[in-house]
């Protein structure tokens, strides 16, 4: 099956790469005229070849065979095959051809990583198959404006969200509030680089997650992550449309809030429900939900590792005196008193983290980001810092316990407002902030483990999600829970 003639070699030279596409040809006169293909998609193609002899080559004309990658390709192609031939251009694209016993043969395009240090296609990492994703993981979050120009629209969507807050004449009042607050919030974002990094970190976490998932759960592979933000692009509704266009079979709505609240995770789930309800269509995908994970062991380990790392940076004689302040986004007491489980679940995370740290330091759970004059969960983070200083406790470690990546609440509120301005005013001796989970590989492993366990469980959602808050006043919340809990798997 090697190249036998100059004609074969000339044909190899006709296999030319273009951005996003690969023009293919076959070696040998007998099969050349039988080549049938359809370039419907640039990332993954299927062609039917009515012939008995095939070879895959790229314009260098070199063959690689009996490589480990051949074994994986055989597994990826659902036809009887006797041998796989792979050729590559060292820094270009690669194509894989199958010689099979059957007359109808599927073939698969794949890419060769542009890695000069990789001398062959023999490693698992050097060959990536571009197949249609089977399982889509929708990573749900509030999001944040990437640019200062996005701040107004972000605030407008936020204040219009009745799942987050209810205002009198909300459709008229929300635009006024958004317009009034935009300059102040833009100033805050300008202090942290001009925008929120939450999309960047979500993408990093998603990439790490799906790479692990493809090996952890091959029967549900390929996996693809999608970002679904509530108040900025890509919006949740846009992500669902992308998933449908990609032909996703199994969809997992995966909240990136470890602790459930009707105002956060609940709002994102309601958005998915409204998407289908307003279209009057049943989902084409099989939906299930990871709606909370406050005590997952790897999540707890991540927090404990980051806390211990920062504690080690305090002066040794002060280390045991450091008060650990676990800071979470606060909620209005009107929401809490309806029975929202958020405070209890945040408390559960804190307790598990301190267990992992062997209760090495005194600690408190505090709440940040209160807005307006109405009662909110307390004590507030800033008031706690002031109170501790007044009582002689001047060494503190701030831990963002309800956030999985950096955004304005960590980079501006904790780092600037509290750790710089307020600490200076109060006479704090040492104050640090534990690093957010961001690109921690262990956190990506936690996400992958959560999804893998969820897929294996065949559960649509947790039992907790089926229970509405005892004093719930939102009919959409009840409809949404009923919608998801009745999804067939």
Which helix (H) or strand (E) segment is 126 a member of? none
Measure the CA–CA gap between 158 and 135, rounded to whole angstroms: 30
Measure the CA–CA gap between 387 and 324, rounded to whole angstroms: 14
Measure the CA–CA gap between 271 and 134, rounded to whole angstroms: 23
Measure the CA–CA gap between 42 and 46, rounded to whole angstroms: 11
Partners of 128 in the β-ladder: 111
To the query of whether residue 296 is one of the catalytic residues in this protein, the response is yes
CA 154, 156, 162 angle in degrees (round to 5)?
110
Structural contact between residues 105 and 73, judged by C-beta atoms closer than 8 angstroms: no
Measuring CA to CA, which residue among 323, 428, 325, 423 is closest to residue 368?
Answer: 325
Counting Cβ atoms within 10 Å, is residue 181 exposed (0-12), middle (13-18) or buried (19+)?
middle
- 296-321 burial, b at 16+ Cβ within 10 Å, e below that, comes to bebbbbbbbbbbeebbeebeeeebeb
Q: How many CB atoms lie within 10 A of CB 135?
A: 24
To the query of whether residue 152 is one of the catalytic residues in this protein, the response is no
Helix, strand, or coil (residue 402): coil
Measure the CA–CA gap between 320 and 458, rounded to whole angstroms: 45
Measuring CA to CA, which residue among 142, 184, 147 is closest to residue 161?
Answer: 142
Residues in the chain: 489
Which helix (H) or strand (E) segment is 257 a member of? none
Partners of 433 in the β-ladder: 398
Q: How many CB atoms lie within 10 A of CB 380?
A: 18
Dihedral sign computed on CA atoms, order 48, 49, 55, 61: negative
Measure the CA–CA gap between 382 and 84, rounded to whole angstroms: 64
Structural contact between residues 13 and 57, judged by C-beta atoms closer than 8 angstroms: no
**What DSSP character marks residue 52?**
S
**Catalytic residue among 296, 306, 329, 454, which?**
296
**Catalytic residue among 161, 382, 406, 449, which?**
449
Structural contact between residues 327 and 381, judged by C-beta atoms closer than 8 angstroms: yes
Active-site amino acid positions: 296, 449
């Amino acid at each position: 099956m090697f190249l036998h003639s100059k004609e074969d070699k000339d044909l190899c030279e006709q296999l030319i790469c273009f951005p996003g596409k690969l023009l293919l040809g076959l070696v040998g006169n007998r099969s050349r005229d039988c080549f049938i293909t359809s370039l419907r998609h640039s990332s993954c193609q299927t062609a039917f070849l009515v012939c008995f002899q095939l070879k895959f080559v790229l314009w260098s004309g070199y063959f690689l065979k009996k490589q480990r990658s051949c074994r994986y390709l055989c597994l990826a192609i659902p036809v009887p095959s006797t041998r796989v031939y792979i050729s590559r251009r060292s820094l270009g694209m690669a194509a894989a051809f199958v010689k099979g016993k059957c007359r109808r043969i599927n073939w698969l395009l794949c890419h060769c990583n542009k890695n000069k240090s990789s001398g062959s296609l023999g490693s698992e990492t050097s060959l990536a198959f571009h197949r249609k994703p089977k399982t889509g993981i929708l990573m749900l979050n509030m999001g944040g404006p990437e640019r200062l120009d996005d701040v107004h629209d972000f605030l407008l969507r936020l204040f219009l969200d009745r799942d987050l807050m209810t205002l009198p004449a909300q459709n008229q009042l929300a635009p006024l509030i958004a317009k009034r607050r935009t300059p102040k919030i833009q100033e805050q974002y300008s202090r942290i680089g001009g925008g929120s990094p939450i999309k960047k970190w979500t993408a990093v976490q998603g990439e790490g997650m799906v790479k692990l998932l493809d090996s952890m759960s091959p029967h549900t592979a390929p996996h693809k992550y999608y970002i679904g933000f509530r108040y900025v692009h890509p919006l949740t509704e846009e992500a669902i449309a992308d998933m449908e266009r990609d032909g996703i079979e199994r969809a997992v709505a995966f909240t990136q809030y470890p602790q459930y609240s009707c105002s956060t995770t609940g709002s994102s789930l309601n958005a998915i429900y409204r998407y289908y309800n307003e279209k009057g269509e049943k989902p084409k995908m099989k939906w299930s939900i990871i709606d909370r994970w406050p005590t997952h062991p790897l999540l707890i380990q991540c927090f404990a590792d980051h806390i211990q790392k920062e504690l080690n940076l305090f002066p040794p004689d002060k280390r045991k005196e450091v008060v650990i302040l676990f800071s979470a986004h606060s909620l209005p007491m009107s929401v809490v008193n309806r029975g929202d489980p958020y405070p209890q679940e945040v408390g559960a995370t804190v307790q598990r983290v301190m267990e992992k740290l062997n209760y090495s330091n005194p600690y408190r759970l505090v709440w940040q980001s209160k807005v307006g004059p109405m009662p909110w969960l307390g004590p507030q983070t800033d008031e706690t810092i002031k109170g501790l200083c007044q009582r002689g406790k001047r060494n503190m470690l701030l831990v963002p316990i309800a956030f999985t990546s950096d955004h304005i609440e960590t980079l501006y509120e904790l780092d600037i407002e509290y750790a710089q301005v307020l600490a200076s005013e109060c006479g704090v001796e040492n104050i640090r902030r534990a690093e957010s989970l961001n690109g921690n590989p262990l956190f990506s492993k936690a996400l992958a483990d959560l999804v893998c366990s969820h897929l294996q469980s065949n559960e649509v959602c947790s039992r907790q999600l089926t229970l509405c808050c005892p004093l719930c006043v939102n009919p959409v919340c009840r409809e949404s829970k009923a919608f998801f809990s009745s999804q067939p798997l």
